[in-house]
Structure 1
C-alpha cells in the first residue's frame, strides 16, 4: 500500500524547485566520490528523490533490482563526458540523483 503523507507535498515542491539541468562535467567530482546515482527515464526524478529522502527501502530495492536506479557506472560517466551531456540533477543528501533528458516527442 503506497500512501503519501501530506507533508510530501512540501518536500516534492522543495525538491522540484531545486532540480536543475547540469553539465556532466560539473558533476564529475561528485561522481569520483561515489555520490552520484542514476535514475532511469521511466521513473520520475522528483518521486525517486522523495522516496530516497523517506528511506523507502522497498521501492528503492525494487528499482535497483530492476536496473532502474543505481550508482553511475564508469561506462555511463565516459559516455556522458564524450557526449558533453547535460543531465537533470536533484540533491538528496548525501546523493546527487541524475537523469538523462527525456527525448522530445514530436
Structure 2
C-alpha cells in the first residue's frame, strides 16, 4: 500500500458521525472547515495533511471548502443535521451527510 493510500485509510478510520451541538465549541474557536458535497471529505483532509496548497487553495477559492459562517451555524442549530467529521489539527473538517442535506 502506498503512503498516500495509507494516509487516506488512516483518515477514513478517524472519521465519525457527529451532531452540530458537539461541533459548536469548534465553531466558536474558528476551527471548523466545511467541505462541500462535491468534494471527498477524506481527500480534503489528506490534502491539508500533505500541505497541498494548490488543491486546498482551489477548493477555498471555489467555495467548495471554507469556514462555517454565522448563517450556516444558525441553520445547523435549527435543522440539526448529522455530519461526517475528521480532525486534521488545528482544523475539524465537516461535511453534511447526504441524507441530511440542508441549505449549505
Fold similarity call, TM over 0.5: yes
Which of 51, 62, 67 lines up with 1:66 in the alignment?
A: 62
Structure 1 residue 103: Cα displacement:
3.8
Structure 1 residue 9: Cα displacement:
1.2
Tell me, which stretches of 5 or more residues in structure 2 are unaligned? Answer: none
Which whole-Å CA distance do the structure 2 matches of 1:12 and 1:81 have between them? 30
Residue 34 of structure 2 aligns to a residue whose secondary structure is strand
Deviations 1:2-35 (A, max 9, x none): xxxx211111111101101100100100110000
1:37 corresponds to 2:28:
no
Count of aligned pairs between the two proteins: 99
Contact 2:45–2:93, Cα closer than 8 Å, also in 1: yes
Tell me, which stretches of 5 or more residues in structure 1 are unaligned? Answer: 1-5
TM-score of the aligned structures, taking structure 1 as reference length: 0.89
Structure 2 matches for 1:1-106, cutoff 5 A? 6-103=2-99
TM-score of the aligned structures, taking structure 2 as reference length: 0.91
The structure 1 segments of at least 4 consecutive aligned residues displaced by more than 4 Å after TM superposition are none
Deviations 1:47-85 (A, max 9, x none): 010001011110111111111011111111110110112
Greater helix content: 2
